[in-house]
Structure 1
Amino acid sequence: MLNLTYSYRIYPEVDQEAQMLDWLEQCRRVYNYALAERKDWINSRKCPVNACSIRQEYIILADAPYPDYYKQQNALTKAKGVIPELKAVHSQVLQDALKRLDKSFKFMQERGFGFPRFKKLGQYRSFVFPQFKSNPVNGFEIKLPKIGAMPIKLHRPIPEGFEVKQVRILFKASGWYAQLILQADVSIPDVTPHGEPIGIDLGLEKFLTVSTGELVERPRFFVDLQSKLRWLQRKLRNKKKGSANYRKIQAKIRKLHEHIHNVRREFHFLTAHKLCDGVGMIFAEDLNLKMTSRGMLAKYCLDAAWGSFLEILKWVAWKRGVYFAKVDPNGTSQTCPQCGAHTGKKELSERVHHCDECGYVTDRDVAAAQVVEQRGLASTEQCRSVAVGQTVILPVEEGCLGTPMKQEISRAILGSPRSTRFG
């Protein structure tokens, strides 16, 4: 089963836009009420038996069950009989708000941190129609339950063989968007190692360094527009909160943040496609992104968005039939790619790799990228040797899991890769 998400611009009428904004507000209220209910239940179980607070205490029975998703869903049905505003919203849309909260709690339990927060006014920006009986897209219109038909800009056609399973309506600073979740009963095999390999090294001096010696400059998406953002925020501070001018400045700030996000994402896609040209394997470092987002260089690391780029590169590589894998990043800048000797720790100001054992001299980032490539090839060779030991020999260049068939299926479903070129 293959799932895709296509995003299209939609143009609702004035009454439809007011209705969708009201739906977002009702979903936000349901989300916050359900979160407060769970939070009160959890806090009521934190007080020690012999040391209750003398200021306040939660009046919740000891045998009261935990308000999970199913209990809150049943309570939502009863609340519709009391609150008339909830009846105007599609029932599955409100249920999705509770499901989103339940996913947040499960994600918090897996990570061990990140307690869900209350949504302020304007922070709840999307709602989902989880299922459709028929295709809601008809020509250049999309028909949504209880909202009606509205124009949609199909800048690319929906692939043949795919059905629209869900629709997410998203409100951005630039307008309204419909994200179609498409599904098809197609099985595409994983990509196996083949072709020419390359290793990449991510950094701040250069955004990306390839093992072949190619360097990609790091565009400063946020840093270049930070002065304009600071100017807008200074104007916002001098406006009366809630006034018309206050909301206008807020809209400009949101548009600027969206512009930065779009430019960064486009650069990541173009760079990923450029890396996939003429290669069969790409290896990257498995970076600890949580640590890079701390310290005095956190702003520049977050501006480069390495984690987002690696996810995009993984998707583009899968789409174009290129094998992608991550390797251990420890010691890549302290190892000589020519002889494998340990060259010692380098300061950030030291940009040249020089090996005392073999005399190999090259750029520091190029040497690190070459080490990443060598580690990636070693891991693929180890996987092949394990497969041979288990008498399961997978062909590398061609065969049932080879890249030619993978590329044909990918091109038929997703289309040919777009033109890529660095500006």
Structure 2
Amino acid sequence: MFNLIYEFKLKPTGAQIATFEEWLEQCRRVYNYALSERKDWVNSCKCPINACSIKSEYIIPADRKAPTYSSQCGSLTQAKKNIPELKKVHSQVLQQTLKRLQLAFEGMWKNGRGFPRYKKAGRMRSFVFPSLSNQPIEGSHVRLPKMGLVKFKQSRSIPEDAVIKQARVVRRASGWYVQLTLQWKVDVPEINPSGTSIGIDVGISHFAAVSNGRLFPNPQPFKRLERKLKSLQRKVTNKRFGSNNRAKAQAKVSRLHERIANTRKNYHWELAHNLCDWAEMIFAEQLNLKALSRGFLSKHCLDAGWGQFLDILSQCCFKRGVYFQKVPAAGTSQTCPKCLKETGRKKLSQRVHKCQFCGYTCDRDVAAAKVVEIRGLQAVGHTVGKLSEGKGHVLEDAKLCLPTTEESPTLSAG
């Protein structure tokens, strides 16, 4: 089994948009109420056993069990008998909202994330239909439970032998979208490490440096539009809270944020396809993205979106049959790719690598990319020889070679 997610833009009517917004609001209220139950139970267990608070105290019995997903689903069934607004929403949609809260708590327990927070108005942006009919696609419409046929723009064809398992309706600044999860019975061949290879080193001055000497510029979509974003956000603060003008100004801010995200993602996909054109093996660094997002260059690191790029690169390599692997990033800029000796730390202003042992000189990022390639080849079991001038690394036990420095296709993104 192979799972795919296809995203299409919806073209709902005015009545369907009103229903979508009402369902999101009900999902938000259910989420917040379920979170308040769990939060009250946690706080009730914190009070001392020999004294009471001066302000207030919880009256939750000490023997009451902690709220869980199953218990809150039972409470939701009872609440639907007294609250008519909940009956309008599909039952499985509300259950998926409770499961979303459960996953938030599991992420806090297992992955060290923060305590789940309440969602203010407009914060809930999606809801899920976990099951659909046998044939949910009818021409240019998708049939959603308790919603009927909703028109959508089918930008690409859906495989005939794929089964649509679930649908997620998402609200964005540019409109409404549906994400269809497909289950496809297809045999995916295992990709073996063979053929030409390249290493990649990501950075800020250049977004990516390739071991064949290519340097890709950093588009910096957020930095380029930061002044315009600041101006729009200032206009939002000058509007009266709750007014229609403030909502219109906030919509402009949301559309600009989406434009920045789309520009970044489009550049990542084009760069990934360019890299897959050059080699059958691609190696990249295993970065500590959480630490980089908290450093003194955090805004530039987040603007570059290295985590998203590496995920997109792995997906692109998987689709095109290119072997992809991450290698340890420690010391890649402190190692000479020719003699493989440590050259010591370099300042950020030092952009040229010059080895004091063998005299090898090249761009600092390109040298780090070559070291990444060497580590990747060693990880897949190939023996790497010494680096010869202008010919790349000589592999002793396989007929592999680096791409030459001849003219290669350039990236079309800005």
So what's the TM-score if we normalise by structure 1? 0.90
Give 1:127's aligned residue. 127
Q: Distance in 2 between matches of 1:273 and 1:75?
A: 50
SS of the residue 1:213 aligns to: coil
Q: Distance in 2 between matches of 1:7 and 1:13?
A: 19
Q: Distance in 1 between matches of 2:260 and 2:308?
A: 14
Give the conservation status (yes or no) of the 8 Å contact 2:132–2:145.
Answer: no
So what's the TM-score if we normalise by structure 2? 0.92
TM-fit CA distance, 1:422: 4.3
Quick one: which amino acid aligns to residue 77 of structure 2? T
TM-fit CA distance, 1:185: 2.0
Unaligned residue ranges in structure 2 (runs of 5+): 384-397, 400-409
Q: Distance in 2 between matches of 1:312 and 1:129?
A: 26
Q: Distance in 1 between matches of 2:203 and 2:152?
A: 40
Q: Distance in 2 between matches of 1:5 and 1:230?
A: 34
Give the conservation status (yes or no) of the 8 Å contact 1:284–1:372.
Answer: yes
TM-fit CA distance, 1:248: 0.3
SS of the residue 2:312 aligns to: helix
TM-fit CA distance, 1:223: 0.7
TM-fit CA distance, 1:420: 6.9
- Per-residue CA deviations over 1:371-404 (Å, capped at 9, x if unaligned) read 0000000110079xxxxxxxxxxxx99xxxxxxx
Q: Distance in 2 between matches of 1:264 and 1:206?
A: 14
- Per-residue CA deviations over 1:286-322 (Å, capped at 9, x if unaligned) read 0111111113311111000100100110111111111
Give 2:391's aligned residue. none
Give the conservation status (yes or no) of the 8 Å contact 1:204–1:300.
Answer: yes
Matched, 1:79 2:79: yes
CA 229–422 in structure 1, closer or farther in 2 if over 3 Å, else same: closer
Give the conservation status (yes or no) of the 8 Å contact 1:273–1:420.
Answer: no
Unaligned residue ranges in structure 1 (runs of 5+): 384-395, 398-418
Quick one: which amino acid aligns to residue 380 of structure 1? V
Give 2:40's aligned residue. 40
Matched, 1:136 2:143: no
Give the conservation status (yes or no) of the 8 Å contact 1:5–1:181.
Answer: yes
- Per-residue CA deviations over 1:327-351 (Å, capped at 9, x if unaligned) read 1111101001100111010000001
Greater CA deviation, 359-368 or 109-118?
A: 109-118
RMSD over aligned Cα atoms: 1.6
SS of the residue 2:82 aligns to: coil
CA 217–50 in structure 1, closer or farther in 2 if over 3 Å, else same: same
SS of the residue 1:381 aligns to: coil
Give 1:369's aligned residue. 369
Identity of aligned residues (%): 55
CA 57–206 in structure 1, closer or farther in 2 if over 3 Å, else same: same
Give the conservation status (yes or no) of the 8 Å contact 2:208–2:217.
Answer: yes
Give 2:173's aligned residue. 173
Quick one: which amino acid aligns to residue 98 of structure 2? L
Q: Distance in 2 between matches of 1:127 and 1:361?
A: 55
SS of the residue 1:89 aligns to: coil
Quick one: which amino acid aligns to residue 186 of structure 1? V
Give 2:9's aligned residue. 9
Matches within 5 A, 1:340-351: 340-351=340-351
Q: Distance in 2 between matches of 1:179 and 1:420?
A: 29
Question: Deviation above 3 Å: which 4+ runs of structure 1?
Answer: 419-423
Give 2:245's aligned residue. 245
Give 2:306's aligned residue. 306
Matches within 5 A, 1:142-157: 142-157=142-157
TM-fit CA distance, 1:51: 5.0
